[in-house]
Amino acid sequence: MAQRLGADGSSVGGELTLGADPGHQSHPAIASDGQSYLVVWEDGSQPTVALLGIRLDAQTGMRRGSGLVIARGSSNHVQPKVAWGGSSYLVVWTDDRNRATAGLDVYGARLDASGNRLGAELALATSAVDEADPTVASDGTGFLVAWTGVHAPGSSDTDVRGLLLDATGAPQGGELSMEANPVVAESAPRLTFDGTDYVVASLVGTGAQSGVFARRLTRAGAIVDPQAIPLSVATPVVESAALASDGAGHTLVAFGGFDPDPMLLSTRARAAILTSLPGGAACSTPDECESGACESRVCAAQAGAAGAGGAGPNAGDLPNGRYRPGCASGDARASGLCAWLVLVVLLRRRLR
């Protein structure tokens, strides 16, 4: 099912039924080329899980063309994600075709704006260990794919890895390490592009010791933030993150965290805002600027008080002095960070 929303968040029209096959359909993912939406999902109507899709008109929500078979065969195709790269879509998923010898792998496929397949399937991560739960984002021309990978055969420790692709799906360089903490398990990466850099957020740790951390990577895959940015510091996180950017240096990261209030004992959806405006961009506060300096409502190239390459006022708010979750008045703070920025919604599902 799907529901269109207006710019103000209000519903536009009724719910849309996307898939009508008799099997179980789940885990939808969506992207847009500006003219239409591509929605993909898992379909369990056959002995193995396939990936199906549909295109919808961006203005009317009406179907464009017939349904799409994105990936189907003797293996299971699960956990799909999709991104538009300026000239084509890239759909990525977890695949078990080599499970007997190499565990789970990450594969992908490119589609044009009309949903037609471009070339063969792409083997993106096929080493001898499990690689799963992929995510993808685009800078408008190429793509960055990230996934959860096991450190070594027989190990239960995981980290986050990635691969840059050009517009044709060809790898650009080798595998990238994106892990926030090399000694703690990391999983469930999610990606977006903020107009300048890629932003990856992932779960670090497990259980009561888990949290959401973020890092930036350049278009070339270089780590911008040597020390990952903690986004959740007060409550263990039990849900993976979701990211969206306005393409102008602002990224909203939403995630679920357990609320220990004995009257609630619930999972709450929460969010943090990351800002990373370059020199010359319009600003309201120093925290929005990479340099940490907002002068005459314009981000300075560098903060005068900190010198070249440093952060300006309130540099101690975060380890690198660049990314700062926005804080509303009265928000609880810990180590200079908003413990939780905004309560978005109380999830109906309560932990039992």
| Residue at which a domain ends, from 153, 177, 201 | 177
Residues 168, 215, single domain; the answer is no
pLDDT digits (tens, 9 = 90+) for 228-272: 888 876 566 667 799 999 998 889 999 887 776 666 667 778 888
Looking at this protein, which amino acid is placed at residue 66?
S
Residues 92, 24, single domain; the answer is yes
Residues 193, 119, single domain; the answer is no
pLDDT, position 344: 28
Average pLDDT over residues 125-145: 97
pTM: 0.82
CB 287 within 8 A of CB 313: no
Residue 309 resides in a domain: no
Q: Look up the CATH number of the domain holding residue 158.
A: 2.115.10.20
pLDDT digits (tens, 9 = 90+) for 17-49: 887 777 788 999 999 999 999 999 999 988 999
Average pLDDT over residues 171-196: 89
Residues 28, 158, single domain; the answer is yes
Coil, strand or helix at 250: strand
Whole-angstrom distance, CA of residue 239 vs CA of residue 64: 34
Residue 297 resides in a domain: no
| Residue at which a domain ends, from 177, 197, 228 | 177
Residue 293 resides in a domain: no
Residues 234, 275, 342, CA angle at the centre, nearest 5°?
Answer: 40
DSSP states along 144-181? EEEEEEESSTT---EEEEEEEE-TTS-B-SS-EE--S-
Of the candidates 114, 15, 118, 29, the residue with the CA atom closest to the CA atom of residue 64: 114
Whole-angstrom distance, CA of residue 115 vs CA of residue 273: 33
Residues 250, 204, single domain; the answer is yes
pLDDT digits (tens, 9 = 90+) for 292-337: 788 888 888 765 432 222 222 222 233 333 334 333 333 333 323 3
User: Cβ-count burial of 178 within 10 angstroms (0-12 exposed, 13-18 middle, 19+ buried)?
Assistant: buried
Residue 318 resides in a domain: no
Number of domains, the chain = 2
| Residue at which a domain ends, from 125, 153, 177 | 177
Residue 139 has pLDDT above 90, yes or no: yes
- From the CA atom positions of the chain, what is the Rg in Å? 21
Of the candidates 253, 239, 131, 268, the residue with the CA atom closest to the CA atom of residue 192: 253
Task: Go through the chain and tell me how many residues it has.
Answer: 352
C-alpha distances in Å from residue 94, one per residue of 152, 182, 200: 18, 24, 19
CB atoms near residue 177 (< 10 Å): 12
**Structural domain boundaries, residue 156:** 1-177
Residues 191, 172, single domain; the answer is no
Residue 300 resides in a domain: no
Share of the chain above pLDDT 70, in %: 81
C-alpha distances in Å from residue 122, one per residue of 75, 90, 110: 15, 10, 8
Residues 116, 238, single domain; the answer is no
